[in-house]
Amino acid sequence: MSWGRVLRARHAVARPHWRDELPALVGEGAEAGGKLLAIGLRRSYGDSGLNPDGAVIDMSGLDRAVAFDPETRILRAEAGISLDALLAILVPRGFFLPVTPGTRFVTLGGAVANDVHGKNHHRAGTIGRWVRRLGLLRSDGTAVELGADDNTGLFAATIGGLGLTGLIAWVEIEAMPIASAMMEVETIPFASLDAFFPLAEESDGGFDYTVAWIDCLAAGGALGRGLFSRARHAATGPLAPRKQRRGSSLPFDLPGIALNQLTVSAFNELYYRNGRRKAGRTAMPYEPFFYPLDRIAGWNRMYGRRGLYQYQSVVPPDAAHDATTAMLRAISASGQGSFLAVLKTFGETPSPGMLSFPRSGTTLALDFANRGASTLALMERLDAIVREAGGRLYPAKDGRVPAAMFRAGYPNWQAFARHVDPGFSSSFWRRVSQ
Ligand SMILES: Cc1cc2nc3c(=O)[nH]c(=O)nc-3n(C[C@H](O)[C@H](O)[C@H](O)COP(=O)(O)OP(=O)(O)OC[C@H]3O[C@@H](n4cnc5c(N)ncnc54)[C@H](O)[C@@H]3O)c2cc1C
């Protein structure tokens, strides 16, 4: 099952724990004629980590750090190690991940295969920029070691390559020095979308991390109002990674009705007002800043048995204002609001992967409870706006993008396809490439 829980399928699963198990798993799987796919902690929302007609190799048992050199800052680890485990090694030694997504419960291999981005994209680009070398197992029995100096295209295809170029066995990544585990964070309310863009531009110059939450059900003059957050690692403070208490967990599905328009708009109103009251500067440990959702284990069950869709787009800078306005109007008019509407400007640093999602422009990420046809119809309206603006959707969040829209958004997809390992596949790839 994917993180969005809309798509479910039975799989044959292998769970290796040792590196020397991998060549046989990859080779025999391919010889048996089945298509393989490596998976991590299954935090992708749609079908990029599903492979129902084939088999999956769950890499989360290969979770060891192999070496870390504080001089070169290079850390080598098995691909199934989680970012949580990496932080536990790095932070006490005065280092941090160069790029982190909004959850630390993803594997290093999964993060590389989606070339993930974080709140510091305008400074650091994607995680792939910080990968120094990686080991890839191919279904023809070869084990290749690749770095940015690779001139065959296989490295660029593997970064953000959705697991389709083979199995990533290990990764070497460059860590970033920090002086403290604390963050200096400033929260600034903004009254409408028009105020977001100048605030983002000004903040990207002086802050390592920037992101905004927006109230996507606000309409009229308040369209796009929200809370802008900008932050940097503190210059002083402890390096101990204070363990974030896992708050509650959701052991069962909430009834779908729990998340109707009234609850979303009441939540958004409260969240915005509360944020306005608490606006200003504060110091906090890194966990609540980077990973607020990690506090509630199984938060995706809040959306009920039918699950949720994530919809994350990026549109080029020239089109960003109008396209974002049009998307927010469509969402507000549909009444299908999202609790977790996040807006961020991506910087200009090119992504290293042929299929990497980030490009310069503005990215909007939304969660929609699955209400069947009406939710699909809303996302089709959003598709039309994104396509018209020359933008694209993020495969890690997707389970439904039409093939034509994927191909238009990722013009390198055919060059990428030449590097796809014939022994590997996924539901996502079959859907968009055939
Ligand atoms: C709460 C939340 C917040 C998020 N925030 C962000 C964010 O801010 N930025 C962002 O970019 N993403 C974000 N994501 C998405 C998430 O970072 C990616 O989906 C990530 O790739 C998941 O890693 P995983 O280990 O769970 O991999 P999976 O979801 O299991 O797999 C993801 C892909 O990686 C491939 N893969 C996994 N391991 C290997 C391997 N060893 N070798 C080859 N291929 C492999 C799989 O085949 C699949 O295509 C978020 C997700 C959640 C749930």
pLDDT in tens, 404-417: 999 999 999 999 99
Structure tokens at 181: 């585990």
Task: Confirm or reject: Cβ of 42 under 6 Å from ligand 1.
Answer: yes
| pLDDT value for 195 | 95
Nearest residue CA, atom 47 of ligand 1?
Answer: 163
Separation of 137 CA from ligand 1 center, angstroms?
19
Count CA atoms closer than 13 A to 389's CA, side-chain side: 27
Was domain 182-403 assigned CATH 3.30.70.2520?
yes
Q: Measure Cα distances from 85 to 15, 81, 106, 343 in Å.
A: 19, 7, 10, 28
Is the pLDDT confidence value at 151 over 90? Answer: yes
Give the residue extent of every domain in the chain: 37-178+411-433, 182-403
Task: Confirm or reject: Cβ of 293 under 6 Å from ligand 1.
Answer: yes
| pLDDT value for 196 | 96
Q: Report which ligand 1 atom has the smallest distance to the Cα of 293.
A: 1
pTM, entire model: 0.94
| Position 261 confidence tier, pLDDT thresholds 50, 70, 90 | low
Separation of 410 CA from ligand 1 center, angstroms?
19
Nearest residue CA, atom 28 of ligand 1?
Answer: 42
Better-predicted residue by pLDDT, 145 or 246: 145
The length of the chain is 434
| Position 12 confidence tier, pLDDT thresholds 50, 70, 90 | confident
Nearest residue CA, atom 45 of ligand 1?
Answer: 163
Separation of 368 CA from ligand 1 center, angstroms?
19
37-178+411-433 matches 182-403 in fold: no
Q: How far apart are CA 332 and CA 73, in angstroms?
A: 46
The CATH classification of domain 37-178+411-433, taken from the options 3.40.50.12500, 3.40.50.300, 3.10.580.10, 3.30.465.10 = 3.30.465.10
| pLDDT, average across residues 255-264 | 60
Structure tokens at 91: 């932070």
CA 384, 355, 172, 24 dihedral sign is: positive
Nearest residue CA, atom 7 of ligand 1?
Answer: 101
Is the pLDDT confidence value at 300 over 80? Answer: no
Task: Confirm or reject: Cβ of 13 under 6 Å from ligand 1.
Answer: no
Task: Confirm or reject: Cβ of 137 under 6 Å from ligand 1.
Answer: no
Give the range with max mean pLDDT: 10-24, 230-244, 401-415.
401-415
DSSP string, 298-319: TGGGGG-TT-EEEEEEEE-HHH
Out of 1, 17, 43, 246, mutate this one to test ligand 1's pocket (max ligand atoms within 8 Å of CB): namely 43
Q: Report which ligand 1 atom has the smallest distance to the Cα of 106.
A: 25
Whether residue 135 contacts residue 144, with contact meaning beta carbons closer than 8 Å, is answered with: yes
| pLDDT value for 306 | 83
**Which tens digit of pLDDT belongs to each residue from 201-220?**
999 999 999 999 998 888 88
